Each structure stands twice: as structure tokens, then as C-alpha cells.
Structure 1
């Protein structure tokens, strides 16, 4: 009887375990069925999109940058194609320096190439493609292609390069392009044009290249490519071509520009030539100048230091940013002010004795000219005439007359970085200085304004613009 009861107990326990296992299997199959339903039905559209994304890649097509021409159609900035050797650090599988050493055994990699690459790497993310060699020769392309299998993460790419055929001539007007740095990326990402810069490595930095960036850049196209599991392109599925940037024709006459620059020689200075009939700028010269081609590939430290630390400041656009006392070129405007305000008539005559005294201080003037009217004051450049005129008018009257002529005002020229300069007034002095004794305007300070000295400080562009207006 005891043995029969034990068998029955074992059967009961077996049946319980069997039921538990059956229930567990049933629950597991239920979970699998629910998961299958969730993936196949609920998430079908989302997963289908992901699968399509994994199967395809969207590759941006960078547009050709528009050309820059002078008024006669002479090309000032253009493009040409060349091959580059580029490294994607995240795909190398070994230290970057080690990879560059190995590349150097196949194609030449100079110390300058290494320095430029390191600088680009500092400004870029690890997964971005960065050039280690520019403008490979056909022989170098063939040599590296034969050993491409040894260098994962290193590719030969065809790139468009910017070229400035006339080099230094007109550089301060044309400007230059440079590789997009982190600051540029942040600005682009915050703009409405971020999608249009996918795949773009270069952007206008100065001059017309910068101010007309949105015109010159063009519209980026896309190619949809089918890719293998290894990420290699298999075939093109769709393509939307890029739209080249528009070319820009400037009012500059580059032959006149070149002639003036050559006439300056090694001297420092600035000149702006304007057609008085329509206000077009025919020449915009700042000397010394620089070669914008140096910046296209990324300028090396030695050349940058040489340009940046030069006593001649070739990177300074003197016509746009340099401010200077206008000197005797200011006298015709003072003469016009005298007539318009009624302080003088054309026939009003003063005696130029070679000096003029105000409040016990004598203001000298090279030599005595005798009797001087308005015409003779300009022809002979009489300081005494304009000392007296400035005193009669006062600083605020001078300011109010000169402001509409553009002195001390931004002209709005379509080149970035214009300086305002200084057209003094009593309000300007109060706003500029902190101490009460500095804020006060003294009568003696007005006298020098008449001959374009004192606090007067204008750009060559302002002076040229006012002169064209006067003409």
C-alpha cells in the first residue's frame, strides 16, 4: 500500500511540473507572437524606413562656386579640379601619425602637409574627412590606388579648388575662401541654409567672397546610393544635380587696379577711384597686399606669422578699415560749407600772414599768401583761411554739414568690415571720454578741424565718396 501511494505522489508532482513547463512554453510562444506582431505590424513603417536607410546612403553633391569677374569680364576668381588624399581618423584603425608615416612611403607628405592636417584636425570632428595631400599628380594617384588596400580610412577624392589667377592684384576686394572651421559650422547650423552646406568644406572668409557667399555658393544636390553591408556603393538609385553658384561682375577695372598697385611699389597707402557719374568704384587699392591663393588650402604657420606680424600690415584693408586725418583734401568741403551756411561768399577776402592766433596760441601756416578769397584758398591751400573759417563755424556746425557727405559714417559698401571713422562734435566727445575735463570741448580744438586735422579721422572710402559727390 505504501509503494502505491508513493507512485501516485510522483505522478502528481510530474503532472504539476509538466503543466508549469507547458505554461512557460505557452507564455514564451505568446511573447514571441506578440513581439512578431509588434515588429511586423505596429513598427512596420518605422523599421522599413530604417532598413531602407541602412541599404541606401544620401551623398551630397557640392555645387561649383560662381566666378568673380571685373567690369570687363576678366576672371578674378575661378575653380579647377584636382585630386586630394584624405584621411578619416575614426576609420584608420591605428594612430594618425603612424598612418601618415605609412602614406609618406607611397606619396610625398611634407612637414607643411602634416602641420596643416593637425590644424584641420583640431578644428574638426574625428569622423570628418581631412586632406593630408592636395593636388596629387596622375602618377601619385596611380601609385596610391595600387596600394589602397593597405590604408583603410584613406581615400583619393576629386575636389574643386579655388584659384585667383591675378594673385595679389585686387586681393583686398576679392577676398578669399578658406576651410570651414568650428565657428563657421556653428553659424551655418544656426542659419536657415544649413542643409545647403552638407558636404561643403570651404566658405568665403573676406571681401566679395564673404559678402556674396550666398550667391557664389550655389545649391547642393544629392545622390541616393545603394550600399553593401560593408558600406560600399553598389548603384545609384536617384540623383538631384547641384546648381552652380552665380558669377558676379564687379565695377572694378582690374587693369586700372593693377596699374595703381604697381605705381605704389613698396610704399604703404590706399586709394579709391569712383566714377562721379554713377558712384561705381573703379579701383579699390590697399598696399601692401597679399596673395589670396595662400589661404585656399589652409595657410601654414610660418607664412601666417610673416603676414600677420609684418610691420607693413599687408592683411589690413587700408581703404576700408584704415582711418586717417584728411588734411588739405578737407578744404574744398569746408569751402562748400562756408558758402552753404553763409559764413563766406566767393569774394570774401582774408589776409593770410602765415599764422593765426587764437586765445594766445599761434597756429602756423607754411608761408604768408597775402589776400586770399575762396578760390585762392583752395588753389594755394591756405591754412589761415580755414583756421578762421572753422572758428567762425564751430565744431557742431561743421559736424552737421559733413555728416550728410558721409564723413564719419558707414557707406554701406558690399565688402564686410568697414570702419566708421570719427567726425567730431561736442556730443561725440562727451560720449567718448570718461573724465569731465576730457569731455569738455575747447575752442582751440575746433581750429585744426578746418584743415582736416585734430580729431578728424576718416577712411579713404569716405573721402573718395564725398569727393565724388562734390564733383
Structure 2
């Protein structure tokens, strides 16, 4: 700068620049900015926004940076200068001041986010925590992550190759785009469908011999408890997670009754969260199957819905695939007595110039108006899951508040009829996924959680303890500063499961 007179035409300017201090911990939520490419330049020109990017080199690429680009960017200013023949400024003729972009205030609880990230450790998976009463996203974890700072000024080829070649897929936003069978976390919603349509009385019981056979068929859909549970009611079917009960319920109700009821909880539809690229998921129906298997690649018979297609859907397998966000959203709707809020990460938008604050999502999207007795019944059964005799009894021990939950184990690869599941004999990425969903406190829910640990095995073993720790941290007070470790423990493929569940795990308590 002191020698600028020696360099005609050269000007030294300072610029503000992005820095992402939480790195991997918030990468899949906040996203990142990067240099404007040709395609983006053309889009800006088409939308008549190019003037605001003169002098700008960067634009939001993913996450909130992309979704709220227009809000964050502001309006460019300009100066019209008179210069001499050497290009040196003489005087300012006209000036228009720039307008700052707005500030986003997030619903995200950063201490909870850091705590959940640390507790996830080196495992792969996702965790979504929502405020049922507002739809605010309290925590949004996709493990593993990546350092968004690598992308700001253009990522180098080796780093890009390393991220793309990693079988654990750190660039995949599992919470938003990962599609998984929900396993037995689906059962409370199956129960709600049966109760809301008055298809089942809650006191109706069935014999559970440890399997369900299609009428006129020798094929058996196996229960997680091979010896069966004996007489099984709806309440107990949730508490101990009877597969046989839900095989039969799905068979008896049929997909035409089930699909519209399950859709009320958001299954098979984008939640509308303020993050780009959300996957839709699959809530199966006859129409869906017809479209999915249309075309010359598939025979006509593949497009026809068969009665047996519905049976594994009852336990959250079969064609069912949803994102962890969708599952958390469904749990939040149940916790909130059927009132639906759109999940949102941004809580407020502040205009720095005027100080005006615009709140996001103050009103519910809709109210499903379920029968209060049905909601109370299912919540009570889910609370029993964490009590003695339930699949997550150990997780419920010592609770200082009331929690309702449901374990789930989602199969990744199909097991042959009659064969036993042996995790040790399978490659890691072929082992079962561990699920747990919960909300608390039951009487006035403040948090709804969905956790999936990829290839983590039984729901009570991997996902449930993590959900309990996160709920404790949020509801009973902070437990000191949490420093997030560097992650190098990323992800497996998201494989749709077509089959029923493996044999029960050997344990002293019921696990699922």
C-alpha cells in the first residue's frame, strides 16, 4: 500500500470472508459458499440478479448458504468515478451505498449439536431433534461430515478425490437425503392407523406363535422372538415390539386403508424444511408400485400390487424408505397430538438496517385432529417401551422426566427363509441399522428425536442410548463444554430392505 504509486492500475482492497468455526459439526446444515461458476452466472442473468453480483466472486452452494442466499447476500453498491488518462481517480460523480444482507438466527441449539456429534463418536448415521411445538430444528447430525472451509476458495483435486472416494460417503447428508427402512419405529404409526380407522379395538388380541403365515402359503414371516409372545394385545405389541401382530395387522387392513393414514404423519412426502435437496422417501401404494416398475425393464406382473407386498410394510420393512428427518417429523406430529409444523432451521431473520425481526413458521401447517384417546393410548404404550418389560427398559432406568420411545432394527440384506441372522458373518455395511425414536416430556413434549446408527445392530443397543443422552442434555441442563473430535467415521450405502427381521438377540431383557 505504501508503494501503490509505483503500480499504476493496481488497487489494494480488503474483503470479508467466510469461516466455518464448527467445521464438520454443522457442515450439513450451514453448507458452504464457493466461487460463482458459469451455470450460476447464467442463472443470475436469467433472474435479472446479475447486477447484485458485480464485484462478488462467491455464492451459496449448499445448506442454509444456498437456501437463504438472497437473504444473506444483500444488494451491491456502486461508485461512478472520473479518472485521468492514467486511470487514477479524480472525483466521485455518483454513489449508491450497498445494503447489507440480513442475519439468520437459528433454532439450532449449538451446544446440543456439539454434544450429539461427540456422543455419536466414530459411528455412521444421523440424528434429528425437533421442537414438536414449533417445528424448530434443535439438532441435525449427519455422520461423518466434512470441513466446509475446504470449498470456500475452491477445493484442491486431492481433497475432492478423497471425499468422493471414501466409501463412508461424508458428503452425503444422511439426515436429509439418506433413505432407510424405518424398522419397528413404524409400529406406533401402524397402531394409530388401525385405531383412527376403527379397524382395531385396542383390546383386540391375537395369538403370536413367533411367525405369520399367509393364508394358503407355507412361507413364514418370522418374529424377532422365534418362540412367539403368546397372546398379544396392541399395547403390548408396541411395548415388546411384536412383529407377528403387525404382519397380521398390515395383512388385514391392506395398503388402501393404511396409506392415507400413514401419510398424515408425513411419510412419503418432503417435510418442506428450509434446506435444499430433501429426499421424498417412499410410502408404498398400488399407484406408487405401478409407476415405480413402469417401462420395458420390468414385466407387467412387477407393476401389480400383490397382497403379500403389504405384510413386511407393517414392521417398517418392504418398500418403506424414509429419511431420518421424515421419521423425526412423524414423531413430532405424534408428540404434538396431530398438529403439524414444518421443520425449520432458521428461527428469525433480522434486518440489520432497521432492526426488524421476522419470525419463521409461527403457525401450524395443519391439524390432523386425531381422536385424543387414540393418541393417549399410543403414547402410553411408547412410554411402556422404556419401562420394565419394554425393549428399551435399560434406557429408561433413572429417568428424571417421562419419555416415550420406540426401538427399531432395520434389515439391510435379506436373510434366507429359516436362516439365523449372524452379524459377525456379514460385512459391516450389510449389518442391520439401529433405530430409536422418542419424545419427552410425555405430558408436554419439548423434544422429538430420531436416531439411526448405520449397521449398529439392535435399536436398544446403539441408537437408544444416544437418544437418551441427547434428551438428558437438552432437558436436564448442560453438562459442560463439549469439544467435537475430528471425524473420519463415515457411511455405508442406503440399501432398501425387502424382508422381515432377524432372530432375537441373546439378552437378559427384551431388545429389538
Same fold (TM over 0.5): yes
Shift of 1:156: 4.1
Correspondent of 2:185 among 329, 334, 342? 329
Report deviation, 1:356.
1.1
Aligned to 1:160: 16
CA distance in 2, matches of 1:342, 1:391: 16
Partners of 2:164 and 2:230 in 1: CA distance: 50
Using the alignment, how far apart are the partners of 1:389 and 1:155 within structure 2? 74
Which deviations, in whole Å up to 9, do the C-alpha atoms of 1:335-376 show, x marking residues without a partner? 111111122111111111111111321011122111111110
Contact 2:34 2:60 in 1 (8 A): yes
* Residue in structure 2 matching 1:430, options 280, 290, 300: 290
Bigger RCO (CA 8 Å, 6+ sep): 2
1:287 matches 2:143: yes
Displacement of 1:195 after TM fit?
A: 1.5
**In structure 1, what is the Cα distance between the partners aligned to 2:169 and 2:290?**
32
Compute the displacement of 1:391 (Å): 0.2
Pairwise CA distance, 1:314: 0.8
1:213 aligns with 2:73: no
Q: Does 1:469 align with 2:308?
A: no
Task: Tell me the equivalent position of 1:440.
Answer: 304
Given that 1:343 and 1:392 are in contact with CA atoms closer than 8 Å, whether structure 2 keeps it comes out as no
Compare 363-372 and 211-220 and name the one that shifted more.
363-372
TM-score by length of 1: 0.67
Q: Contact 2:27–2:147 (CA<8 Å) still a contact in 1?
A: yes
Match of 2:105 among 249, 253, 269: 249
Query: Where does residue 255 of structure 2 map in the other structure?
Result: 395
Q: Is the 8 A contact 2:4 2:11 kept in 1?
A: no
Could you state the TM-score of these two structures normalised by the residue count of structure 2? Answer: 0.62
SS of equivalent residue, structure 2 residue 221: strand
Distance 2:97 2:28 in 1: 33
Is 2:67–2:274's contact at 8 Å kept on the other side of the alignment?
A: yes
Runs of 5+ unmatched residues, structure 1: 1-140
Deviation at 1:236, TM superposition (A): 2.5
Structure with greater helix share of residues: 1
Task: Give CA-to-partner distance per residue, 1:64-102, whole Å, 9 cap, x none.
Answer: xxxxxxxxxxxxxxxxxxxxxxxxxxxxxxxxxxxxxxx
Q: Is the 8 A contact 1:260 1:285 kept in 2?
A: yes
Residues 234-243 or 381-390, more deviating: 234-243
Q: Is the aligned partner of 1:200 residue 2:56?
A: yes
What does residue 87 of structure 2 align with? 231
Helix, strand or coil: the match of 1:371? strand
**For 1:263-342, what aligned pairs fall within 5 Å after superposition?**
263-342=119-198
Per-residue deviation, 1:192: 2.9
Secondary structure in structure 2 of the residue aligned to 1:320: helix
CA distance in 1, matches of 2:163, 2:87: 44
Q: Whole-Å Cα distance in 1 between the matches of residues 144 and 10 of structure 2?
A: 40
CA RMSD of aligned residues (A): 1.7
Residues 343 and 389 in structure 1, CA contact (< 8 A), matched pair in contact too: no
- Name the CA distance, whole Å, in 2 between partners of 1:215 and 1:438: 47
Alpha-carbon separation, structure 1, partners of 2:99 and 2:36: 20
Does residue 366 of the first structure (1) align with residue 224 of the second (2)? Answer: yes
C-alpha deviation, 1:147, in angstroms? 10
Following the alignment from structure 1 to structure 2, what is the Cα–Cα distance between the partners of residues 148 and 333?
Answer: 74
| 3-state DSSP of counterpart to 1:192 | coil
Which of 100, 114, 122 is 1:258 aligned to? 114
CA 1:202–1:148: 2 relative to 1, 3 Å: farther
Q: Are residues 1:459 and 2:323 paired?
A: yes
Question: What displacement does 1:218 show?
Answer: 0.8
- State how far apart, in whole Å, the 2-side matches of 1:178 and 1:320 are: 21
Instruction: Report which of the two structures shows the higher radius of gyration computed on alpha carbons.
Output: 1
Q: Deviations over 1:181-240 (max 9, x none)?
A: 101100000013221111111110000111011110011111121111232323323322
* Aligned pair partner of 1:383 in 236, 243, 251: 243
Going from structure 1 to structure 2, the CA distance change for 1:183 and 1:286 (only over 3 Å counts) comes to same
Q: How many Å apart are 1:281 and its aligned residue?
A: 1.2
CA drift at 1:148: 6.1
Residues 443-465 of structure 1 show CA distances to partners (whole Å, capped at 9, x for unaligned) of 11110000000000111111111
Q: Deviations over 1:243-281 (max 9, x none)?
A: 111100111101111111111111110111011122211
Alignment of 1:148-187 (within 5 A): 149=7, 156-187=12-43
- Post-superposition offset of 1:155: 5.7
Classify 1:285/1:148 alpha carbon distance in 2 versus 1 (closer, same or farther; 3 Å).
Answer: farther
Q: Distance in 1 between matches of 2:55 and 2:87?
A: 18
Partner Cα distance (1:355, 1:223) in 2: 77
Is the 2:142–2:173 Cα contact (8 Å) retained in structure 1?
A: yes
Q: Secondary structure at the match of 1:449?
A: helix
Partner of 2:281: 421
- Which stretches in structure 2 are left out of the alignment for 5+ residues? 336-512
Q: Is the 8 A contact 1:372 1:385 kept in 2?
A: yes
**CA distance 1:169–1:194, shift in 2 (3 Å):** same
